[in-house]
Amino acid sequence: MNLVTVIVTLVQVILFAALAPLLVGVMRQVRARLEGRAGAGVWQPWRDLRKLLGKEPVRARGSSWMLRAGPLVLVLSSLVLAALLPLVTTVAERLVTGDLFVVVSVLLIGAVALALVGLDAGTAFGGMGSSRHMTVLALVEPTLLLAIYALSIPTGSSDIATIVEARLEDPSIIVSPVGLLAMAALVIAVVAETGRLPVDNPSTHLELTMIHEAMLLESSARDLAWLEFGSWLKLGALLGLVGNLLVPWGVATSTDALPVLVGAAAAGVKVLVLGALLAAGEVLLAKLRLFRVPELLAGSFVLAFLAVAVSAMVS
Amino acid sequence: MTESTYAELIGLCAGALLLTSVLTVWYRSQRASIRALALQGVALAALVAVVAVDRSEAELIVVAALVLVLKGMVLPWVLSRRPAPATGAPAPPQRGAGSAGDHGAGDHGAGDHGAGDHGAGDHGAETPMLNPVATLVAAALLGIVAYAVIWPLVAGSASPAAHAAPVGIAMVLIGFLVLVTRRRAISQLVGFLALDNGIATVAFLVSGGVPILIEFGVSLDILLVTLILQVFSRRMRAVFGDTDVDRMRELRD
């Protein structure tokens, strides 16, 4: 660990923090255009954040310090996630290695904080949202672990940066049968983890179906801004991970200035393109009934499991 | 074509074949699983084309075109034709008439908004004999069995095509699974065609395909079987209003 590595990691975190609201703006805009609406413009999430951050939060009487701390924990966990994942560079000697298990537990910390925020005020909707969120999470985490684990077998390391580097050097890993199965499972797990469409509709406040929005109902102003920002950053970082695993070209493998700049530009483009594709796909999808969600996630778990078993047998 | 590109393309096609055969199990709605079957046909055609270019055989290109037209387009089209309502009988209720969000039906197994449309059309949700999660786990186990049995046989070979051969066996087993766990005639047909795709995959991967005459014969066979079964299931639907095989245990006048 040296100064250059710290600076490169900072560049990555700041890039993704700046990119996350833009990403959500682009996704909403794509969706609006495809549905024949004008849309609010790609900078609207930034404006929303600024407005919310300038307001004084109103908290329910009887709510605890969790309502105050939860949003910050979520944002911090997302920032750590953006620092851990190999989004701009794959340089290994970072502050903490972006090991698969570390990444999943950081994801879990943010998710638990969010669920506690939902439970804190003791309202019906918040509790309902939290319980659903935890149910989905219990099914998503094993899939996520197993999918990345399947990707790690050909490279012999559970460090995600090493996995991305190995895929950059030997593209045949990407298109192998095992790689395809694991990527399909990973994409479904990421979609479920970030609460996108077949699992949760991010743009609805219909009480029967909402998961993510239900947990935010009791938050306002600063708290709400941090919760939204943390979720967006998580979406951005996970999309960046998927982008780098699918198309590893462009990611920097050293800490020199030029590769890092190219890597930052490539990461930005990949995340925005993936986000636009995801939003376009969401237009065609209907939300899955809540009791069908375990079926979807079981399917993705089976794909990941098959990938692990097959690659263990082949190697 | 260099050796590594060849290996990558074979791997890509084999992966797509395995993925689509898991999708036929996964999707609950018939329309979606027929679409997965069409994708599988296209992937199989791509595989044949890759093998053809590698062996530089013009004959195999013809076979690839044949596979693309037959398995990628004609068979799925035959399967997805909506049976006409029986004449004289009251028209069945329109599918999805009362269910919002019908536009998304069929994607990711989401084509089950109208749970009440059982019997309203053959294209509605399938109610398999095994619950979906158990079927998926069974499919994964079959895939593992295929690899466990076939891998020792092909591990010694240097050819990347032989290394992908277990995928074909897995497709055969998963096809069988679909065949035995579905109730509707058309869904069983999907399983049968997936099974046939698996056999063809093994043939192309291991020996670069069978002679073109046999390939033509088998294709014609498959087409005829599908056409006959499709007509048969339409007749069944016209007479009984359903193609649930379980309800047809008895012979009647």
Greater pLDDT, B213 or A240: A240
Task: Give the per-residue pLDDT at A306.
Answer: 85
Task: Give the per-residue pLDDT at B92.
Answer: 46
User: Could you give the CA distance from residue B69 to residue B217 in angstroms, rounded to a whole number?
Assistant: 15
Task: Give the per-residue pLDDT at B40.
Answer: 92
Task: Give the per-residue pLDDT at B97.
Answer: 41
Residue B245: which pLDDT band, with cuts at 50, 70 and 90? low
CB contact under 8 A, B19 and A184: yes
Q: What single DSSP character describes residue B68?
A: I
Q: Does the pLDDT value for residue B110 go beyond 60?
A: no
In contact, A121 and A218? CB cutoff 8 Å:
yes
Task: Give the per-residue pLDDT at B116.
Answer: 36
Rounded average pLDDT over A246-253: 82
User: Could you give the CA distance from residue B129 to residue B191 in angstroms, rounded to a whole number?
Assistant: 14
* Of A131, A176, A114, nearest in space to A151 by CA: A176
Q: Does the pLDDT value for residue B93 go beyond 60?
A: no
User: A159 phi and psi, to 5 degrees?
Assistant: -80, 120
Rounded average pLDDT over B158-183: 86
Residue type, A133: H
* Of A148, A67, A50, nearest in space to A105 by CA: A148
Choose from B28, B108, B149, B157 for mutation: most chain A CBs within 10 A: B108
Q: What kind and span of H or E run contains B185?
A: helix B185-207
Residue A21: which pLDDT band, with cuts at 50, 70 and 90? very high
Interface of A to B at Cβ within 8 Å reads 171-172, 175-181, 184, 198, 284-289, 292, 294-296, 298-299, 302-303, 305-306, 309-310, 313-314
Q: Does the pLDDT value for residue B85 go beyond 60?
A: no
Digit-coded pLDDT (tens) for A35-58: 888 888 888 889 989 998 888 888
Domain boundaries, chain B: 3-82+126-247
Helix axes A177-193, A124-152, angle to 10 degrees: 160
Residue B114: which pLDDT band, with cuts at 50, 70 and 90? very low
Task: Give the per-residue pLDDT at A93.
Answer: 59
Rounded average pLDDT over B1-14: 80
User: Could you give the CA distance from residue B237 to residue B102 in angstroms, rounded to a whole number?
Assistant: 24
| Token representation of residue B105 | 């039906």
Rounded average pLDDT over A169-186: 83
User: Could you give the CA distance from residue B97 to residue B31 in angstroms, rounded to a whole number?
Assistant: 17
Rounded average pLDDT over B180-189: 83
**In this structure, is the dihedral angle defined by the CA atoms of residues B125, B126, B132 and B135, taken in order, positive or negative?**
negative
Rounded average pLDDT over A157-183: 82
Residue A257: which pLDDT band, with cuts at 50, 70 and 90? confident
Digit-coded pLDDT (tens) for A103-134: 888 888 998 998 888 888 788 888 888 888 88
Q: Does the pLDDT value for residue B173 go beyond 90?
A: yes
| Token representation of residue A268 | 């930005």
| Token representation of residue A274 | 């993936």
Task: Give the per-residue pLDDT at B82.
Answer: 64
| Token representation of residue B8 | 């990558």
User: Could you give the CA distance from residue A18 to residue A20 in angstroms, rounded to a whole number?
Assistant: 6
Rounded average pLDDT over B140-148: 88
Q: Does the pLDDT value for residue A207 go beyond 80?
A: no
Rounded average pLDDT over B27-37: 84
User: Could you give the CA distance from residue B195 to residue B179 in angstroms, rounded to a whole number?
Assistant: 9
Residue A11's alpha-carbon distances to A83, A160, A166, A187, A232, in angstroms, are 9, 19, 23, 26, 18
Task: Give the per-residue pLDDT at A272.
Answer: 92
| Cα angle: B11, vertex B13, B15; to 5 degrees | 65
Greater pLDDT, B186 or A230: A230
Lowest mean per-residue pLDDT among A70-79, A142-151, A240-249, B87-96? B87-96
User: Could you give the CA distance from residue B26 to residue B24 in angstroms, rounded to a whole number?
Assistant: 6
Bridge partner list, B184: B244
User: Could you give the CA distance from residue B136 to residue A300 in angstroms, rounded to a whole number?
Assistant: 10
Q: Does the pLDDT value for residue B91 go beyond 60?
A: no
Digit-coded pLDDT (tens) for B36-74: 999 999 999 998 888 888 888 888 888 888 889 988 888
Task: Give the per-residue pLDDT at A73.
Answer: 93
User: Could you give the CA distance from residue B246 to residue A309 in angstroms, rounded to a whole number?
Assistant: 35
In contact, A200 and A287? CB cutoff 8 Å:
yes
Domain boundaries, chain A: 3-314
Residue B176, CB-side half-sphere exposure with 13 Å CA sphere: 10
In contact, A238 and A194? CB cutoff 8 Å:
yes
Rounded average pLDDT over B232-241: 78
Rounded average pLDDT over A225-229: 90
Task: Give the per-residue pLDDT at A148.
Answer: 87
In contact, A206 and A58? CB cutoff 8 Å:
no
User: Could you give the CA distance from residue B142 to residue B104 in angstroms, rounded to a whole number?
Assistant: 31
Looking at beta carbons, which pairs linking A129-134 to residues 24 or more positions away fall under 8 Å? A129/A210, A129/A211, A129/A212, A129/A213, A129/A214, A129/A215, A129/A217, A130/A214, A130/A215, A132/A211, A132/A214, A132/A290, A133/A211, A133/A212, A133/A215
Choose from A174, A176, A285 for mutation: most chain B CBs within 10 A: A176
CB contact under 8 A, B137 and A288: no
Query: To the nearest whole angstrom, how far is the Cα of B193 from the nearest Cα of chain A?
Result: 21
Could you give the percent of chain A with pLDDT greater than 70?
97
Residue A280, SS3? helix
Task: Give the per-residue pLDDT at B126.
Answer: 64
CB contact under 8 A, B148 and A313: yes
Contacts of B12 in chain A (CB under 8 A): 175, 180
Contacts of A287 in chain B (CB under 8 A): 101, 110
Could you give the percent of chain B with pLDDT greater than 70?
75
Greater pLDDT, B108 or A191: A191
User: Could you give the CA distance from residue B151 to residue A67 in angstroms, rounded to a whole number?
Assistant: 55
